[in-house]
């Protein structure tokens, strides 16, 4: 009897068969399948990559941070803010809101870091607890706005109007607020007030300089340098008698501290600044008188005018 031939064992061609699908525990099948479906729309090449083995884990992980829907959400947030003016707790980092009309808007706890709100109208806005770090509010109107609890480190408040705005004590110190209007004196420290006076003086705004120096003296009545600075700013406005009075009082303070040399110079300055009163009117006032003869007589003035703590 002839034996039947044994069937040949077929050896699979690994190239023709394609990549083997890894054997996964049942608990991993569902996430893996979900990841495959998520990437199916990305083409056959991506699908083959996902099915080639453990690479699918990395591919799925890299896919998670895709943020295209977030961009649409940000746009929707901006539309909501501009239409309803109510966006408490909204994420508005880096938003461009130049010239936006946000009067009486509810922006409590809003994330506004690095946003551009230059020249925006924020009168009466509720910004309690908002994050305004490195935000530009240059030239913005914030009349009556509530900024209590807001984070203001690096905030640009230059040339803004803060009349009636509510601020935490000392909060303004971490901002850029040169030429800001309507700042309540209680929001500023003595040092900030004095330095604001120096800035105003150097900008040629003598009345504003006098006002800041006066507010600084309310905080620190014994601050000799501020008395001298206010005397000079008053002299620039032809307020010679008031300037002389400030020089005299500063001289008294210097004498009390044992600095008789500077006290004597200040008394001489008090006498000098009253001379233009007796002369014909129409001159340049203390601007020429002090910065000419008295400046050479009183090097103390050169020390105090550029002073900033």
**34 has a pLDDT exceeding 80:** no
**85 has a pLDDT exceeding 50:** yes
Distance CA 202, CA 213 (A): 13
Please write the tens of the pLDDT for every residue from 260-283.
998 998 998 888 888 754 444 444
Q: What is the mean pLDDT of the chain?
A: 75
pLDDT at 50: 36
Residues of the chain with CATH 1.25.40.10: 189-309
Tell me the CATH class for 189-309.
mainly alpha
**69 has a pLDDT exceeding 90:** no
**190 has a pLDDT exceeding 70:** yes
Q: Which fold has domain 85-186?
A: Pectate Lyase C-like (2.160.20)
Cβ contacts of residue 305 below 8 Å, gap of 6+? 198, 201, 202, 229, 232
Residues of the chain with CATH 2.160.20.80: 85-186
Is the separation of the CB atoms in 77 and 87 below 8 Å?
yes
3-state secondary structure of 78: helix
**Maximum CA extent, the chain:** 150
pLDDT at 181: 87
**65 has a pLDDT exceeding 80:** no
| Short-list 217, 208, 247, CA closest to 231 | 247
pLDDT at 231: 92
């Amino acid at each position: 009897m002839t034996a039947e031939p044994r069937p040949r064992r077929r050896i699979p061609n690994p190239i023709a068969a394609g990549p083997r699908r890894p054997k996964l525990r049942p608990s991993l099948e569902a996430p893996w399948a979900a990841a495959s479906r998520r990437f199916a729309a990305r083409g056959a090449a991506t699908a083959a990559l996902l099915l080639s083995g453990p690479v699918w884990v990395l591919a799925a992980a890299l896919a998670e941070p895709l943020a295209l829907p977030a961009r649409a959400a940000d746009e929707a947030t901006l539309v909501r803010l501009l239409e309803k003016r109510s966006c408490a707790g909204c994420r508005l980092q880096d938003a461009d809101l130049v010239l936006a009309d946000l009067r009486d808007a509810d922006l409590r706890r809003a994330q506004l870091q690095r946003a551009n709100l230059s020249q925006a109208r924020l009168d009466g806005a509720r910004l309690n607890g908002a994050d305004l770090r490195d935000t530009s509010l240059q030239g913005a109107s914030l009349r009556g706005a509530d900024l209590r609890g807001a984070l203001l480190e690096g905030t640009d408040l230059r040339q803004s109007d803060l009349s009636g705005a509510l601020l935490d004590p000392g909060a303004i110190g971490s901002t850029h607020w040169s030429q800001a209007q309507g700042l309540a004196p209680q929001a500023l420290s003595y040092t900030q007030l004095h330095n604001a006076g120096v800035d105003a003086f150097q900008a040629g705004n003598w009345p504003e300089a006098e006002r800041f120096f006066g507010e600084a003296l309310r905080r620190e009545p014994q601050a000799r340098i501020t008395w001298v600075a206010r005397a000079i700013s008053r002299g620039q406005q032809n307020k010679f008698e008031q300037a002389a009075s400030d020089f005299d009082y500063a001289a008294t303070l210097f004498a009390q501290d044992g600095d008789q040399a500077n006290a004597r110079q200040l008394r001489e300055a008090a006498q000098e600044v009253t001379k233009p009163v007796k002369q014909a009117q129409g001159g340049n006032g203390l601007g020429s008188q002090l910065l000419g003869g008295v400046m050479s007589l009183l090097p103390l003035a050169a020390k105090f005018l550029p002073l900033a703590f």
